[in-house]
Amino acid sequence: MILGIGVDVVDLARFERAADRTPKLLDRLFAPSERISGGESRSLRSMAARFAAKEAFIKALGGSDGVRWHEVAVVSDEQGNPSIEVHGGLREHLARRGIETVHLSMSHDAGIAIAYVIAEGRG
């Protein structure tokens, strides 16, 4: 059963300006494992898509109560397919809500990053 749906878009230029203006922003929003891929720093476009994913995830939950930025991580498998990993107290929060699976799709093109999240479970 679908328990929640969330979508978010991020203007890439605006995200890049915010990251330039506030150097610690990426540290506050993302775990170190999210900022690095294959030993290299991820591009700001990729980080913007991950930010959109976290925002879409919060919308799929119905709000940010119980959500801390570092307890939500956007990870990729060997083929580069993204998914959401939850840690800490957020894992229990999802269990209480009956959310068992979180589906994620994200992309960036033409100056926009977008993410779509579906929360699924028994409710």
d(CA 69, CA 33) in angstroms, rounded, equals 13
Residue where the block lists tokens 């589906």 = 103
Q: What secondary structure does DSSP assign to 9-77, as a single string?
A: EEEHHHHHHHHHH-TTHHHHHS-HHHHEETTEEPPHHHHHHHHHHHHHHHHHHTS-TT--GGGEEEEE-
- The rounded Cα 59 to chain-centroid distance in angstroms is 11
d(CA 57, CA 84) in angstroms, rounded, equals 8
pLDDT at 38 (0 to 100): 78
Domains and CATH numbers, the chain: 2-121 (3.90.470.20)
pLDDT at 119 (0 to 100): 97
Per-residue pLDDT 10s for the chain (123 aa) are 999 999 999 999 999 999 999 989 999 999 988 988 877 888 999 999 999 999 999 999 999 887 899 999 999 888 989 999 999 999 999 999 999 999 999 999 999 999 999 999 997
